[in-house]
Structure 1
Amino acid sequence: MVYDTLGSAANDWAGKTYAEIAETADSDGSVLIVPVGSIEQHGHHLPVATDTILVDAVAHLGASRVEDDIPILVTPPVWSGYSPHHLPFGGTITTTYDTLLDLLEEICESALQNGFDAVVLVNGHGGNASLVASAVSTIGIDHPDTEVTGITYFELAGSFIDEIRESDVGGMVHAGEFETSLMLHLRPDLVRDDRIEGTMLESEYEHGLHDMFAGGPFSVYRGFDEYSETGAIGAPELATAEKGERIYERLGDEVEAVLREVYDHALA
């Protein structure tokens, strides 16, 4: 499956006229999705746009599941995230923390002027997670009559990932089994099959991060070059397109459920 949507999906902001956007926004319970990605190294086998490609795909999948019942649009993805920890490898384009926060606030400030009742910031990069949570608060303060929400999409897989994964804890971190499987399903043309290589994560803190789905309460800053020579952390060699399809469809279920909840609250 080669994923490509800009302007082509029924729920895509970029393919609408301004009058069509206003009509959707004016509908009761209207929901706006803003995908937030990054441009950063993903080892030797995945493209630097991996986070942006995946969050955009998951956001559109969730929207497609509800578009017959909910007035909903998805903006073009915010493609640059907060990724200073990836700079040592090259290929990374990062914003500062304040710049990305300002950008999300300004995107929502202008987009919400169209009349949407709710906005969902869908994050696709671990380094953006706390920033997106902050943006939910600051945007919410400025728009008290709007249902302002946010989610990091891959965290939604925590409830089912053990049914799919083969790697031990530490195998799904960055360009590991999880992201590589999704890319093999959605954009196999961008995966360098002959260069798949990663390093299992070994956290030095008992309460620190051990996996995408085994995070602890303790935070520590490290450049990713301290964890891996290639920049890929995990077990990408265990990735398959079949796993990617299963993960993708299950993520669609989870995002659909979130969007229906947001819609219900936006109507209230």
Structure 2
Amino acid sequence: MPGTTSLDGLTVTSIIRDVLKELARHGVRKVVLVNGHYENSAFITEGVDLALRELRWDGIRDFRSIILSYWDFIDQKTIDAIYQGDFPGWAVEHGGVLETSLMLHLHPDLVDMSQVQDHPPATFPPYDFFPIKPEWTPESGCLSSASRASAEHGQLILTVCVQGIADALRTAFD
């Protein structure tokens, strides 16, 4: 996709590990990582795990980290308000209504809704296949249409996520 900058998973893992170790070395003891891309989840977790292991080797045992994915705080009530019973599922919410709505709320100048393609959600088999078959992914790269996205939905999503993340941080670091 135009404008996409990708890192290998090993690079993401190494960056997370190295940054956390350096922060800890400088005295930081609590770090929050907010994930915005599902496919990065395993690499972020691995980076945190490796950092914790290496910090323990160095005698640093009081370092804490929490990994949050913003979508984990979007509850069913919010999904129902946005989709009105027609939610295509998390597996295809990639460049769809939720992400586009957030951008319309936060940075409307970066969204051109006239470019949104209205297409049915992508369908995938219950397994991973490599190389990925191009016909399984819509040409736009969006796995479900963002045609119903709005700034109002984005404001609702942001409010719910901020509250959920704030509650999680109070609980985790209490």
- Scaled by the length of structure 1, the TM-score of the pair is 0.56
SS in 2 for 1:119: strand
Contact 1:147–1:262 under 8 Å retained in 2: no
Shift of 1:131: 1.0
Shift of 1:174: 1.2
2:93 equivalent to 1:173: yes
SS in 1 for 2:62: coil
Paired amino acid for 1:249: T
Paired amino acid for 2:124: E
2:160 equivalent to 1:236: no
Shift of 1:137: 1.5
Write 1 or 2 for the structure with the bigger share of helix. Answer: 2
Shift of 1:158: 4.1
Query: Which residue of the partner structure matches residue 124 of structure 2?
Result: 204
Q: 1:204 to 1:123 in 2, by over 3 A?
A: closer
Superposed CA RMSD: 2.3
Paired amino acid for 2:120: M
Shift of 1:96: 1.2
Contact 2:121–2:145 under 8 Å retained in 1: no
| Identical aligned residues as a percent | 24
Contact 1:225–1:231 under 8 Å retained in 2: no
Q: 1:197 to 1:124 in 2, by over 3 A?
A: same
Deviations 1:6-45 (A, max 9, x none): xxxxxxxxxxxxxxxxxxxxxxxxxxxxxxxxxxxxxxxx
Paired amino acid for 2:33: L
Query: Which residue of the partner structure matches residue 65 of structure 1?
Result: none
2:127 equivalent to 1:127: no
2:66 equivalent to 1:149: yes
Contact 1:157–1:250 under 8 Å retained in 2: yes
2:167 equivalent to 1:257: yes
Deviations 1:178-233 (A, max 9, x none): 0111111000000012111253334333xx4xxxxxxxxx5555366631011122
Q: 1:201 to 1:224 in 2, by over 3 A?
A: farther
How many residue pairs match? The answer is 165
Superposed counterparts of 1:48-67, under 5 Å = none
SS in 1 for 2:173: helix
- Distance, in Å, in 2 between the alignment partners of 1:201 and 1:259 is 34
